[in-house]
């Protein structure tokens, strides 16, 4: 997790591409870190994360984070569908943006992803 005057963000950059989770709203380090962990576990399709995603303690940490939030419209209380619903609720609450960043031959391209399309 990183913080600047305007943003708090977390990112994963395994190669020349990055997925960036950021917000302009006040957010605790634990909240953005938990969101990033859960997002990268349940949503990200980077092949580099396959071994990491098979670790039971990573899933447990993501589920603990998601279940620590009050939920109104998400059910049942487990599974991938529930996790996606909770990630969308938390992203809405904190106005989280998902960015895709590509570094290519000294050029950086940043694309903001539509939140519901990114969290699927």
For residue 41, the tally of other CB atoms under 10 A from its CB is 21
In this prediction, residues 64-83 reach a mean pLDDT of 84
Is the pLDDT assigned to residue 90 strictly greater than 90?
Answer: yes
Is the pLDDT assigned to residue 38 strictly greater than 90?
Answer: yes
Predicted confidence at residue 97, as pLDDT, reads: 96
Q: Are 57 and 72 in contact (CB under 8 A)?
A: no
> Helix or strand or coil: residue 64?
helix
For the chain, give every domain's residue range: 2-118
> How many Å apart are CA 97 and CA 117, to the nearest integer?
12
In this prediction, residues 59-85 reach a mean pLDDT of 86
Which residue carries 């591409």 as its tokens? Answer: 17
> How many Å apart are CA 13 and CA 118, to the nearest integer?
17
């Amino acid at each position: 997790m990183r913080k600047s005057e305007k943003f708090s963000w977390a990112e994963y950059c395994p190669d020349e591409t990055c997925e960036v989770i950021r917000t302009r709203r006040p957010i605790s380090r634990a909240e953005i870190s938990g969101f990033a962990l859960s997002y990268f576990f349940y949503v990200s399709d980077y092949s580099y994360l396959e071994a990491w995603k098979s670790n039971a303690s990573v899933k447990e940490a993501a589920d603990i984070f998601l279940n620590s939030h009050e939920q109104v419209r998400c059910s049942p209380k487990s599974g991938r569908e529930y996790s996606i619903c909770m990630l969308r609720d938390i992203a809405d609450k904190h106005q989280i943006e998902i960015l895709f960043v590509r570094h290519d031959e000294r050029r950086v391209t940043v694309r903001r992803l539509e939140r519901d399309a990114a969290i699927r």
